[in-house]
Chain A
Amino acid sequence: MSQEKKGWTYGMLTQEDWWAVWIGGFFMILGLLSVWGIDLVGWITYPKIWVFKMPEGAVPKKIVPWYQAFYPLGAKYSLTAKKFWKSIGPIGGILITYVAFTIPLCIGAYFMRWNVRQFFLGWTVIFFLTYLCWFIGHHAFFAATTVHLKKSNFPDMFTLSLGGGASFILALIVGLIIGNFFKPLARFLSEAAKPEWYIKTAIVFLGVKVGYLPIKMATFSQKLGHKVAGLTFELFLAGAVATFVAYLIFWPGIYTISRKIFKLPRKTAAVLGSGISICGVSAAVATGGAVRAKPVVSIMVSALVVVYAVIELIILPWFFTYVWPGPEGALVAGPAMGLSVKTDGADAAAGELLDELMRAKIAKDTNGAVQWPEGIITVSAVVTKLWIDMFIGLWAFILALLWCYVVECRPGEKVPAIEVWHRFPKFVIGYFAAWIIYLTIFFGPGHAGAPEGMAILKAAKAGAVPVEKGMRKLFFMLTFLSLGIITDFKKLKEAQFGKMVWVYLIGLFFFIIPVACLISWLFHQGMELPNIAGMGIE
């Protein structure tokens, strides 16, 4: 048993949150070296939409033949090593990508005291399965939209127009099949099926994306760069306010439903209230500890959270895209997702899927006349969740004080203030650091997109794209697959949760989701995504 004192540096080498910062930060720094002309990230290999056979007259631009379905991003975006990255080809690129991530992830697994051999084997299977899903999901039938077909001079043909979303859905389905029908394989993979670790790392990469977006836009139009910088900051502020309001409504609402209607015990109601209304497992664990509940209460609630979060991930992106609010309310739907879907992994994954579905739908509905930059809808979904995560520590601390000094007074017991820090989601530091660094480049040496800063902005872009596009999407894919692997729907049936299942179902679908939509609409209505059609921006 460890008896070390938990100071502020506790867990820096043993917790996934910190390892997401170290790994995300490491690759972000490698990407930043492009500012000095050094390209060390161009190996990350990314998919293109493909077909088995190109129709006559088609050009391999947006849609390519199957043997060109992957390419190292450096082959397109590098300023200094384009030829070299091209020469490694898709297979070489995938192998370098595998090695480049296997080493740091295994080091992380070692320090977190996991079974490194088991992690390595599981990771290897998950990595290559992820690339297989990425490949299949990018077949033109699933992924191509009107814009892709037009740009590649393809004849008009029926496609599902899912964009990159098809790969995410496929990865989730494959994961769920493994998790529910091939349980020995799921157990074998479980050491490496870590959706939260992967998504936290992806969120650090997303920080690069948010900071890089104005740079990307400014390389086409200075005005657009300013607009996007303003929009991301607006989302950041609106997300904070919406989250604060949601906390004040969600938790008391679910607590009251649990106590008054379902007559659950006080501690169970508190843990369930946090699990359903705040941030799933992390809130259930934090609240369980705060109210001094026996760990089994948090464990039971957490098992429910994971299953329901995947159900939300399956339903909500489609609902928000095709039923309400549709593409005209894309920036209402994103934050509503962040407020509704519990667990970071499921929320960010749902946000990414929503981003793909919304962009594909608007392009299809307007016949390509309206196109939105990739990633802003994802950011809107993740930002609210980040605020929720950051508030958890504070909320749990307030609950702990209430429980310790008002509800269940125990003479002599004190609540240490450092609890807030111990419960703080450390990966958020990586996200904000990445955002601020790239924003500093934009407003500092990049002269906010003025011609004199263009050279440095273009150099920064060469290193940012492999991180924010290639690495971020890869880690999202890993999250989708891992989420599926660890989700066993039978848990709902097998476990004798009784009332808790019903509180969750009713609380989520008849209270949390409608209120989340309302709050999101109140704080985000009127926000608009910039139209980049015809500007040559991908």
Chain B
Amino acid sequence: MELQATIWHDGKNWVVEAEGFKVKASELDELDRKVASLIKSDPYFANKGIRRVNMFFDMMTIPQWMRQYMQHYFSRIIELEEVK
């Protein structure tokens, strides 16, 4: 099963938010590890059998004057079993 999450940058950390959790880390590797460990350890997510997290970037991070030029930063997918 897949979990839909939103990712953005608060100026210092990458932040991922989904139903019921919010995780921060300065680097993406660390962020992925935190997300994976939280999902694996939380019974709520474990019961749902989450295997993949789709992270959609929140364009509100990008200043409004810039959004008129490009309206997509990135989306990323994390396969939880492969995160080390």
Contact = CB atoms under 8 A, between A and B. Distances in A.
A285 interface: yes
A302 B66 contact: yes
Q: How large is the interface on A (under 10, 10 to 19, 20 to 34, 35 or more residues)?
A: 35 or more
Interface in A405-431: 410-416, 418-419, 422-423
Interface string B17-46: 111000000001100100010000000000
A414 B9 CA distance: 19
Interface stretch (A189-197, A216-224, A238-246, A361-369): A189-197
Nearest to A286: B70
A1 interface: yes
Nearest to B9: A295
Contacts of B68: 16, 194-197
A285 B65 contact: no
Nearest to B3: A3
A190 B79 CA distance: 42
A127 B75 CA distance: 37
A416 B80 CA distance: 16
Interface string B42-57: 0000000000001011
B65 A419 contact: no
Interface residues of B, number: 40
Given A289-B72, A295-B73, A422-B75, A5 B9 contact: no
A1 B6 contact: yes
Contacts of A194: 68
A492 B1 CA distance: 48
A410 B71 CA distance: 25
Nearest to A292: B28
- Among A15, A298, A299, A410, the most chain B Cβ lie within 10 Å of the Cβ of A410
B76 A285 contact: no
Contact of A289 (B4, B29, B74): B74
B11 A290 contact: no
A285 B64 CA distance: 13
A414 B79 contact: yes
Contacts of B58: 1-2
B56 A290 contact: no
A406 B62 CA distance: 27
Contacts of B69: 196, 280-282, 285, 302, 343
Given A3-B5, A296-B11, A281 B79 contact: no
Interface of B: 4-6, 8-9, 11, 17-19, 28-29, 32, 36, 54, 56-58, 61-63, 65-84
19 contacts: A1-B6, A3-B4, A3-B6, A3-B19, A6-B56, A196-B68, A281-B69, A282-B70, A283-B70, A285-B69, A285-B70, A289-B74, A290-B74, A298-B62, A298-B73, A299-B66, A411-B84, A415-B76, A416-B77
